[in-house]
Amino acid sequence: MARPSWSENRVRPPGEAFQERLRLSGWEAHSSWGYDAATDSYVATLRRNDGDNVQEVGREGPPLRWADCIAAEVLDRTGCDPVSAVRALGIARPRPALRRTGDLVETLAKWLRESLNESGSGYQRGRIAGLAWIVAGTEVAPASAWRSGGDVPAAERVDAECVIARGRVYVGGHQPRDFYTGVEEALEFALRS
């Protein structure tokens, strides 16, 4: 059996209508996601394989303009881990890789020095939290709040957290939105292009 691509929807053009099965274990039989041109929004229908409760995402309220928003909603509504949420949508980076640790430490030190001269904005805190999570292996991931056990995350995990951070900028979470903007910038920096 061929390994599924976890990246096939990453380069899908914005605004292109589609509907696909959500490839999330325990949810894949009845769940789908896609882009609805009528509502100009990414949407999802979530239903556990063994349940009757249906959750609709993106069909009401402000439109969800990014697939990353659906990833954050899948994470929150299903309780899955961030990598599984991103893979389920097929929006992971094909081959994520991290910058050298020395570059990350140097940038984190620079941002920490800059923060001493600032008022501690959410954005600045987010940048520091993002890189500290990678460099020091802080226990709780900054965007998903997923517990990592204090291990330094692998590149695939950093990519998934970056997607969740970008989604949280638009759909919100446990921190102010400017915090997630900072986290996203830090994680994008950490991932080599």
pLDDT in tens, 4-18: 678 889 888 878 999
Q: Which residue has the tokens 């020091």?
A: 136
Percentage of the chain surpassing pLDDT 70? 97
Is residue 118 within 8 Å of 128, Cβ to Cβ? no
Instruction: Classify residue 81 by its DSSP letter.
Output: -
Distance CA 20, CA 24 (A): 12
Q: Between vectors from CA 26 to CA 16 and to CA 61, what angle results, nearest 5°?
A: 45
Round to whole Å and give the CA distance between 176 and 169: 8
Helix/strand/coil for 150: coil
Question: Over the Cα atoms of the chain, what is R_g?
Answer: 17
Please tell me the distance from the alpha carbon of residue 85 to that of residue 49, in angstroms, as a whole number: 16
CA-to-CA distance for 165 and 169, rounded, in angstroms? 6
Q: How many helices (H) and strands (E) does the chain have?
A: 6, 4
* Beta-bridge partners for 98: 191
**Per-residue pLDDT averaged across 20-45, rounded?**
96
Full-model pTM: 0.93
- CA 193/CA 95 separation, integer angstroms: 10
Average pLDDT over residues 83-112: 96
d(CA 150, CA 144): 15
Q: pLDDT category, 83, cuts 50, 70, 90?
A: very high
Strand partners, 147: 140
Secondary structure letter of residue 169 according to DSSP: H
pLDDT at 119 over 90: no
- C-alpha–C-alpha distance, residues 66 and 85, integer Å: 14
